[in-house]
Amino acid sequence: MAIVRLATLDDVDELVQMRWDFSAEDYGVSTVSSEEFHQICSEFLVKAIESGDWYIWVAEVEKNIVSHMYLQLIHKVPRPGETRDPYYGYVTNVYTRPAFRSQGIGTDIHMAMEKWSKENDIEFLILWPSSTSVQFYTRNGFARCEEAMEKHW
C-alpha cells in the first residue's frame, strides 16, 4: 500500500530523478547531461516548495517515491467583496513509475490533492492531459471544457 503525503525538501533528489525518467520515457534521450539537469531542476524544486505556490503530492512504497502530482496555485485578481485571496490550481507533472501503474496510486494522490484544494478554498483545478491520460482524469472527475484558449509561438 502506498503512503500519500506532501513532498519536502528531502525529496528533491528523488523528484529530479523521476522528472528525468518521465522525460526520457516520453521524449527519449536528452541533449542536457543528467548532472546539468539535476542542478537546474533541483533549484526549481527548492524554490517551488519554499514559495508556497507549489505543492507536490507523492506516493511512497517502501520509502521510495513511486508517483507524484504537482499543483501550482495561480493567484486570481481579487474582486470587490472577496474576503479571501482567490486561487485556482494548475495540475502538472503527473507521473507514476511503470511498475506501479494501474494500481490506484494516481487516484489516491489525486484524491489527496482534491481534498486539500477544497479545504484551502481553491476555486477549481485545470490541466492539459496527454492523450493517454484523458481516461484517468475523466475517472477522477475532470471534464473537458471549451472555455480556455491558448496561443503557441
Q: Which long-range CB contacts under 8 A does 45-49 form with residues at least 24 apart? A: 45/12, 45/15, 45/16, 46/9, 46/12, 48/72, 49/7, 49/8, 49/9, 49/12
Would you state the pLDDT for residue 27?
Answer: 77
- Determine the structural domain holding residue 74 and report its residue range: 3-139
**pLDDT value at position 83?**
67
Can you give the CATH number for the domain in which 86 is found?
A: 3.40.630.30
- Sheet order of strands, 64-75 included: 3-6, 54-61, 64-75, 87-96, 122-126
| Within a domain: 147 | no
Q: Give me the long-range contacts of 52-55 (CB less than 8 A, separation at least 24).
A: 55/6, 55/113, 55/116
pLDDT of residue 84: 74
Residue 73 lies inside a defined structural domain of this protein:
yes
96 belongs to a structural domain: yes
| pLDDT score for 145 | 82
Q: How many domains does the chain have?
A: 1
For residue 113, tell me if it sits in a domain: yes
Q: Give dist(CA 80, CA 86) in Å, integer.
A: 12
Q: Does residue 43 lie within any of the structural domains? A: yes
Q: Is residue 116 part of a domain?
A: yes
The verdict on residue 153 lying in a domain is no
pTM score of the predicted model: 0.89
112 located within any domain = yes
Range list of H helices, 52-141: 105-119, 134-139
pLDDT score at 38:
94
Per-residue pLDDT of the chain (153 residues; tens, 9 = 90+): 899 999 999 999 999 999 999 888 877 777 888 899 999 999 999 999 999 999 999 999 999 999 999 999 999 888 887 767 778 999 999 999 999 999 999 999 999 999 999 999 898 899 888 888 888 888 888 888 877 777 778
Strand partners, 56: 70
